[in-house]
Amino acid sequence: MIVLPAIDIQNGHAVRLRQGIKEDSTTYFDDPVEAAVKWCDGGAMFLHVVDLDGAFSGSRCNAEIIGRICEAIDIPVEVGGGIRSEEAIEAYLEQGVNRCIIGSKAVEDEAFITEMAKKYGSSLAVSIDAKGDTVATRGWVGGSDKKVLPFAQFLLQIGINTLVYTDISRDGMLTGPNLDMLAQLQQLPYIRLIASGGMSSIDDLKALQRLGVYGAITGKALYEGKITMEQIRELGGM
């Protein structure tokens, strides 16, 4: 299992939100590049970067910072937040991003994500951000008529195998991941499942490792020392 430190960028800083509420944020690094270098030097093998401003606005607000992150470290970076066009995908890939994560656009436009899956394949992931068993959109402030499991099955059928699942109610709350839903998703054929939201201790990561998921994202717990890079290395999650 790969453990991906999370770097969420808001107003140019590395922050963490509680339950995706943009006004409820804590700043941990003034410069997100410093955070990237810290986690890379600590042994991380992959970084998860989110342009929070982009998630709410639908544009690449922090593209310059993300480009600097890719230049500063020698490990792969996946990026999400506001990627709603092919131009945005191409621009990030050209900057050195390894994998682009599509969220709202994949939920709202099945034709778009189907076409992008054919063109970009393994360079794409889709973020399934859930309130209960319903998929949310637009920086988590919007809703949809999509249910988590059928939507995941659709994505796998069109060739998107890497799926990032987040239980919004747990994100930034240190309450542990939604193991029940993650276990159901993990049963789907050919899925590369990345768990996100609520990591509170190394025990949560061990539980996810037992489920057999491909990856786990940790943010607030890592920034506040509740999970350490040393523990992650010992877990073999690097």
Separation in Å, CA 21 to CA 24, 71, 200: 5, 30, 19
Q: Which residues of the chain form beta strands (DSSP E)?
A: 2-10, 13-18, 21-29, 47-51, 77-80, 99-102, 124-131, 134-135, 162-167, 192-196, 215-218
Q: Is 145 annotated in the active site?
A: no
- Predicted confidence at residue 55, as pLDDT, reads 84
Separation in Å, CA 237 to CA 4, 30, 43, 80, 171: 9, 27, 10, 22, 20
- Predicted confidence at residue 230, as pLDDT, reads 95
Q: How far apart are CA 208 and CA 188, in angstroms?
A: 16
Q: Parse the chain into domains and list their residue ranges.
A: 2-235
| pLDDT tens readout for residues 44-54 | 999 999 999 99
Q: How far apart are CA 196 and CA 181, in angstroms?
A: 12
* Given the residues 8, 53, 167, 204, the one annotated as active site: 8
Q: Is 180 annotated in the active site?
A: no
- Predicted confidence at residue 139, as pLDDT, reads 45
| 83 touches 120 (CB < 8 A) | no
* Given the residues 53, 129, 167, 204, the one annotated as active site: 129
With a cut of 70, which residues of the chain have pLDDT below it?
18-24, 138-144, 170-174, 237-238
- Comparing C-alpha atoms, which of 95, 43, 101, 39 is closest to residue 70? 95
Q: Which superfamily is assigned to 2-235 in CATH?
A: Aldolase class I (3.20.20.70)
- Predicted confidence at residue 238, as pLDDT, reads 47
Kindly report the pTM of this predicted structure: 0.92
Q: How far apart are CA 46 and CA 59, in angstroms?
A: 24
- Predicted confidence at residue 140, as pLDDT, reads 45
- In sequence order, what are the beta bridge partners of 124? 100
- Predicted confidence at residue 167, as pLDDT, reads 87
